Chains A and B, each alone.
Chain A
Amino acid sequence: MFDRLRRRSGPDRLAAEVRAAAVDDRARRLRLLQAQVAPHFLFNTLANVRELVDSGSPQASTVLGSLIAYLRAAVPRLHEPVSTLGQELELVRAYLELMRMRLPDRLQFALHVDETALALRCPPMTLMTLVENAVRHGIDPSEDGGRIEVRVTEAGNRCRVQVIDTGVGLQRAGDGLGTGLSALRERLQLVFGQDARLHVTSLAPRGVRAELEFAARRGL
């Protein structure tokens, strides 16, 4: 296997292949990471659902519906190479509904999406990573909370996704990007090559805008 690899590839190609294999490894690690993070989300959410049930709230069934939608969409995700923006949005909406139930005084959100963009190809957990980041690093650490806005537009042959929050902003100068975002960058590169761009910017007076742009492609 290595002989073939050496014959066919220069050092750059080799570096790229090694890098891609490392990305595989990171995707595996990311799944582990998420497996560690998910229980916190899950048990807190279940504790809320239980209170709704115990107190006989009419909201209980709707919230349970969001949880089921979230779990159905989230569980097998990273194993599939590609999904659609429409699927991503369903997951994001269910997640945001659950978070709003948990943090009613600290989270508002709005989704603005071009209908035509729903069928576009999108690596799984792309939009979800951006939104989850906005909640975990923007809203959740803030005593006052904030608002999350998701905008998806299609223009020319490009799709542009923006996730804007008014949370605590990029803290601790220097890094700004969490492991979730750098892993997302790698996944985007695997699917789109150089054809995807991800920018994360600080907003004044507070908050963050994550902007993702990639080639608009349809069909799986």
Chain B
Amino acid sequence: MTGGHPTALIADDEPLLRKALARMLAQTWPELSIVAEARNGREAVEQFEALQPDICFLDVHMPGLSGVDAAGQIGRRAHLVFVTAFDQYAVAAFEHGALDYLLKPVEPARLADTVARLQERIRAGSPAPGATALLEELAARLRKDTAQTSLRWIRASVGQKLRLIPVDEIDFLRADEKYTRIAWRSEGAPGEALIRTPLKELLPQLDPADFVQVHRAVVVNLHAISHITRGENETAQIHLKNRSEVLPVSRNYLYLFRQM
């Protein structure tokens, strides 16, 4: 706090939203002076270092360095308030870490609560709560969201060896108790491996143009299918090229194989 009045920084890449928050804060907390506005995480950190404001309002989603990245660098040297339009995962993480956050469009009543908490902490001279591990995890998660790519290799132990199985050589994946059984063609010959990653974790990482789920426990590569036969009670079986194992199709997934 410099010269008695508390100070704050507002970081958001959308100028109207910086203006909106500044205007609402002027009404809710007239003594607070907004000493800096930043257009991205990098500027936020720079401005923070230069001016050392008491409070930083950080938009989560900003170009370059995100608000969460910036928070990691500012650490506990300022009271942090995250601002986001819609991000269920981030909001859950903030709640879990008892970190303050606002949802856009910002509601005056919610802002008043946040302001009351900040005033109380500043009055009592309490340090800003720390949440380094949580912020790191969240930052990694946000980076992953923007770089979503399909899995290309699966690492599996086969006997004493670690094998790298190219995903496009996989015929199917089948849940097998705690494991997932991977069936692939190793230089044309059928091979199999067990891995510990559950099928439901693998599925979102596979290219949906090639891999489809046909049963609670089965995901098949469409390229590996020879033909399909109908079974009893609205089920079906998938017969594969070069493999004798027949895969079940459950009722919920039958629509994948209906006639056009």
A residues apposed to B, CB below 8 Å: 1-6, 11, 14-15, 17-22, 24-26, 29, 39-40, 42-44, 46-48, 50-52, 54-55, 101-106, 140-143, 171-172, 174-175, 178-179, 182, 186
Contacts and interface: CB of A to CB of B under 8 A. Distances in A.
Given A2-B236, A14-B228, A50-B105, A21 B258 contact: yes
A43 B105 contact: yes
B20 A22 contact: no
Contacts of B209: 22, 26, 182, 186
Q: Which 5 A-B pairs have the closest CB atoms?
A: A51-B20, A47-B105, A2-B230, A43-B85, A47-B104
A14 B227 contact: yes
Given A46-B105, A47-B17, A51-B20, A2 B228 contact: yes
Interface in B85-111: 85-87, 103-106
Given A1-B258, A54-B20, A143 B39 contact: yes
B147 A171 contact: yes
B174 interface: no
B14 A103 contact: yes
Given A4-B259, A47-B85, A104-B15, 9 more contacts: A14-B228, A21-B258, A43-B103, A47-B14, A48-B17, A50-B105, A101-B16, A142-B63, A182-B209
A54 B105 CA distance: 12
B63 A141 contact: yes
Contacts of A11: 226-227
A129 to B, nearest CB: 16
Contact of B13 (A46, A51, A106): A106
A208 to B, nearest CB: 15
B20 A47 contact: yes
Interface in B1-60: 13-17, 19-20, 23, 39-40, 42
B104 A43 contact: yes
B148 interface: yes
25 contacts: A15-B223, A18-B222, A20-B260, A22-B208, A22-B209, A22-B212, A26-B208, A26-B209, A29-B208, A43-B103, A43-B105, A46-B105, A47-B20, A47-B106, A50-B105, A51-B19, A51-B20, A54-B23, A106-B13, A106-B63, A140-B63, A172-B149, A175-B149, A179-B148, A182-B209
A98 to B, nearest CB: 11
Contacts of B230: 1-3
Contacts of B207: 182
B92 to A, nearest CB: 15
A143 B256 contact: no
Interface centre among B14, B16, B19 (most CB of A within 10 A): B16
Contacts of B14: 44, 47-48, 102-103
Interface residues of B, number: 45
Contacts of A14: 225, 227-228
Contacts of A42: 86
B37 to A, nearest CB: 12
Contacts of A20: 260
B260 A2 contact: no
A2 B231 CA distance: 10
Contacts of B40: 143
Given A15-B222, A17-B259, A22-B209, A103 B13 contact: yes
A25 B259 contact: no
A47 B256 CA distance: 41
B126 interface: no
Contacts of B257: 2, 5, 17-18, 21
A172 B148 CA distance: 10
A141 B149 CA distance: 17
Contacts of B146: 141
A19 B197 CA distance: 27
Nearest to A43: B85
Contact of B256 (A18, A54, A142, A179): A18
B242 interface: no
A101 B20 CA distance: 14
A103 B4 CA distance: 35
Given A1-B258, A2-B229, A52 B16 contact: yes
A44 B85 contact: yes
A46 to B, nearest CB: 5
